[in-house]
Amino acid sequence: MNWNKKNVLITGGAGFIGSNLAKYLLQNKANVTIFDNFSRNNVEKNLPWLESFGGGLQVIRGDVRDELSVTKAVQGKDFVFHEAAQVAVTDSVVNPIEDFEINARGTLNVLDAMRQHSPDAVFVFASTNKVYGGLEEFNVEEKNGRYAFSDDALLEGVSEDVNLDFHSPYGCSKGSADQYVRDFSRIYGLKTLVFRQSCIYGQRQWGTEDQGWVFHFLRTAYQKETIKIFGDGKRVRDLLYIDDLLRAYDMAIDNLETTSGKIYNVGGGLVNSVSLIEALDVIESILQSKVKTEFFPWRPGDQKVFISNNNKALNDFGWAPQTSVHEGIGKLYNWVQELSKA
């Protein structure tokens, strides 16, 4: 995709995915506006880093719940990436109203502002694998120290054809937003893309035990502190390195004649799937030291297994992940080391 002089808005642009996306676009000569309320811990630290990439960056301190601010921000934009969100399942359980206002109503505010003021812009939405809920309708077995699907239909992972089941307030709010995006394409003709993202990790994440667990595990282990494990540690996720996600965005936009209005699962896939314990093994091999762990009960909505079936993305625009788990965590380790020296 040729981003030269394109006008791009990134809601949540100071966050993990948003800041990496902003860097990528700035390096490709786009005019980037980030729209963020800077409420998440440490995201302020991403701003000087982004400013180091030169001109073309504008910053709006705003909230997606504020319709007027959103309306002003979307005007004159060629692309809108909607990354702003309340991102923790646990926080959604504690405060479901706020979770809804940010994730569902905030998304609707951006969509409707685009419908009225920037109807020709492309809208890219960061959805989540949590819209599939706990996947209780599928059989799961313990195999080789990790959970695995035993249904033939899921041998390559969860496809977009699997029924939605919004388990947890977070799943409900993101699932509602996911479907609003789809319908604004069908009803109003907006050019939209939905990515149901699975366990994205990488530099600039500032993760916690509730969200961004790969960074959290690695930094906690690096600091020789105890890692909390919710469940039995056999829960499986497919890990997708941030650079591979950005490549998916770019390739899908470059093939809008095929992809516009569609929904795509994007994750590390079967080859990059690990249990929590296996992820700790990778971390131990990189740190060359044992990690300390403590186990706690399962949390609401935690899926025993989630692995994305990426075949639709592969078939429609030729995308597949390229970064292995060991390589990606190794790159993340380099950044963790940089943080310790700062």
Supply the residues annotated as catalytic. 170
The Cβ of residue 139 has, within 10 Å, a number of other Cβ atoms equal to 11
The secondary element (H helix, E strand) that includes residue 236 is strand 236-238
Handedness of CA 81, 84, 89, 92 (dihedral sign): negative
Q: Could you write out the DSSP letters of every residue in 22-46?
A: HHHHHHTT-EEEEEE---STTGGGH
Helices (H), the chain: 16-27, 46-51, 67-74, 89-94, 96-100, 106-117, 169-188, 213-222, 242-253, 256-259, 276-287, 311-317, 325-341
Note whether 241 and 331 are within 8 A (CB): yes
DSSP 158: B
* Partners of 227 in beta bridges: 293
Residue from 32, 1, 5, 2 nearest 19 by CA: 32
Tokens representing 176 are 């509602």
**Strand-by-strand arrangement of the 305-306 sheet:** 273-275, 236-238, 305-306
